[in-house]
């Protein structure tokens, strides 16, 4: 569906004035300095945070569009506010593109974040006090997988499963044993730091045996799924929760995929149960990102992300870091820098001073924090296997104190100068 009319006063020139950062600089130089300062930071440092990426200029244009002005509680054709005929089109386009991209019967694109999507899935399928089986936080589970500081750990009874302490891999036999003992109402499969593909079929079998709903938290791999570089949870899970940023390269936000039988329950759990009006500029930006992800170039990109991660993991292992599970199938990897004489937090700080930005994460060994890094953003910049070897060498040199932070920053600037995220 498309809109064939526009207000008589609308014009490309007028829209350009609305979205003009130079206009912001003239009107509010203090905030403009913040925006341009962040652009400078992103453009001159290496972004290795596994949950981040660079959106396209088209996605940014949608985010900065007049759709940000529109209040649109409800769903297309059934809004609580007038004047929604244009934004209804944007949401319908986003929904249809998401369904086609992931082969889902239903898509809700209003969730404000991945956590909001998980909250809505729980609200649709569970009641307070229900038992849920999910990956434990020390092994890579998300806050919404039962943290006592989060709504999930407050409202539901979570039983954690872990990974094999030697291999770092999910043990399906352990998951099955726990499911048989605790008879959960739902099983959650997904992680913020698990570098291998998840066996969704095995989780489906376990869920069926104990009569549980299967919820896939695919926030991290969903972009790889879109590009055909990772298996899809859609054929197996009752509900798939995801983010639209990370590898998918869209705006920060969430989405939910499910079968038609759960569509109404999911939609009502999003609105009005857990959140209010949709952010229509973000919904439109999601539509743009889904369209980009459906193009052949995105398939090439997704596979390059994985190829880069594999090379980076192998190169870091060759430099002496202990890479969890011995490598990766995805865009992310985790590693213990202890063999180089530093702990995870110290390593993160030392790398940050050198212009290499990443996270720490829990490792399977109790009480140990390592490093979590991903290749989505570097790949968006155009870096490939050769650059991953350079990054790994620089990484190790910084941790071994073979190069000081100033020299390292110069090396990083030379590399990012060749691969700017937003060429001027």
Active-site annotation holder among 144, 243, 274, 380: 243
Going by C-alpha positions, the residue among 124, 76, 423, 46 that lies closest to residue 283 is 76
Catalytic residue chosen out of the listed positions 88, 91, 217, 238: 217
Return d(Cα 186, Cα 239) in angstroms, integer.
11
Is residue 246 flagged as an active site residue?
yes
- Beta carbons of 231 and 103 less than 8 angstroms apart: no
Residues 115/117/121/122 CA torsion (nearest 10 deg): 20
Q: What is the β-pairing status of strands 157-161 and 131-135?
A: parallel
71 catalytic? Reply is yes
264 is catalytic: no
Give 176-201 as a 3 state SS string: HHHHHHHCCCEEEECCCCCCCCCCHH
Tell how strand 254-258 and strand 239-243 pair up: antiparallel
**Annotated catalytic residue within 70, 185, 246, 286:** 246
User: Which of 15, 44, 45, 73 is the catalytic position?
Assistant: 73
122 catalytic, yes or no? no
SS3 assignment, position 323: strand
Half-sphere exposure of 252 (CA within 13 A, CB side): 3
Would residue 336 show up in a list of annotated catalytic residues for this protein? no
Q: Which of 25, 92, 99, 252 is catalytic?
A: 252
Concatenate the DSSP letters of all residues of 209-235 into one string: HHT-EEEEE-TTTHHHHHTTSS--STT
Burial class (CB in 10 A: 0-12, 13-18, 19+), 101: buried
**Residue 10 bridge partners (DSSP):** none
Residue 274: CB atoms within 10 A of its CB come to 19
Angle at CA of residue 244, ends 380 and 147, nearest 5°: 115
Told to judge if 249 belongs to the known catalytic residues of this protein, a careful annotator would answer: no
d(CA 274, CA 164): 36
Q: Exactly one of 71, 96, 268, 365 is catalytic; which is it?
A: 71
Q: Where are the alpha helices (DSSP H) in 19-56?
A: 21-27, 29-44
What CA–CA distance (Å, rounded) separates 342 from 15? 51
Catalytic (active-site) positions? 71, 73, 217, 243, 246, 252
């Amino acid at each position: 569906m498309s809109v064939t009319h526009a207000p008589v006063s609308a014009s490309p020139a007028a829209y350009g004035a609305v979205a003009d950062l130079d206009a912001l600089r003239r009107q509010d130089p203090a905030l403009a300095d913040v925006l341009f300062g962040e652009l400078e930071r992103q453009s001159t440092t290496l972004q290795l945070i596994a949950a981040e990426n660079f959106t396209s200029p088209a996605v940014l244009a949608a985010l900065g569009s007049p759709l940000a002005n529109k209040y649109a509680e409800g769903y297309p054709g059934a809004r609580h506010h007038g004047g929604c005929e244009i934004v209804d089109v944007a949401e319908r386009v986003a929904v249809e593109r998401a369904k086609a991209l992931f082969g889902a019967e239903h898509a809700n694109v209003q969730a404000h974040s991945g956590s909001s999507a998980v909250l809505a899935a729980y609200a649709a399928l569970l009641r307070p006090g229900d038992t849920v089986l999910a990956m434990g936080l020390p092994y890579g589970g998300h806050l919404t997988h039962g943290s006592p500081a989060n709504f999930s750990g407050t409202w539901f009874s979570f039983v954690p499963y872990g990974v094999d302490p030697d291999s770092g891999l999910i043990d399906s036999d352990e998951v099955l044993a726990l499911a048989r003992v605790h008879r959960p109402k739902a099983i959650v499969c997904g992680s913020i730091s698990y570098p291998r593909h998840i066996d969704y079929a095995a989780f489906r079998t376990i869920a069926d045996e104990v009569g549980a709903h299967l919820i896939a938290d695919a926030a991290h791999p969903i972009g790889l799924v879109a590009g055909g570089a990772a298996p899809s949870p859609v054929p197996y899970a009752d509900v798939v929760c995801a983010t639209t940023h990370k590898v998918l390269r869209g705006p920060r936000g969430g989405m939910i995929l499910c079968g038609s039988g759960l569509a109404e329950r999911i939609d009502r759990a999003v609105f009005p149960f857990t959140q209010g009006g949709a952010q229509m500029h973000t919904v439109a930006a999601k539509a743009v990102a889904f369209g980009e992800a459906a193009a052949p170039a995105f398939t090439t990109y997704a596979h390059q992300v994985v190829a880069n991660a594999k090379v980076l993991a192998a190169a870091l292992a060759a430099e002496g870091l202990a890479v969890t599970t011995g490598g990766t199938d995805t865009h992310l990897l985790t590693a213990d820098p202890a063999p180089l004489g530093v702990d995870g937090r110290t390593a993160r700080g030392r790398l940050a001073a050198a212009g290499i930005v990443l996270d720490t994460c829990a490792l399977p060994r109790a009480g140990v924090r390592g490093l979590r890094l991903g290749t989505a953003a570097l790949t968006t910049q155009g870096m490939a296997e050769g650059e991953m070897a350079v990054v790994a060498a620089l990484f190790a040199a910084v941790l071994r104190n073979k190069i000081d932070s100033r020299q390292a920053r110069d090396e990083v600037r030379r590399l990012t100068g060749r691969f700017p995220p937003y060429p001027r």
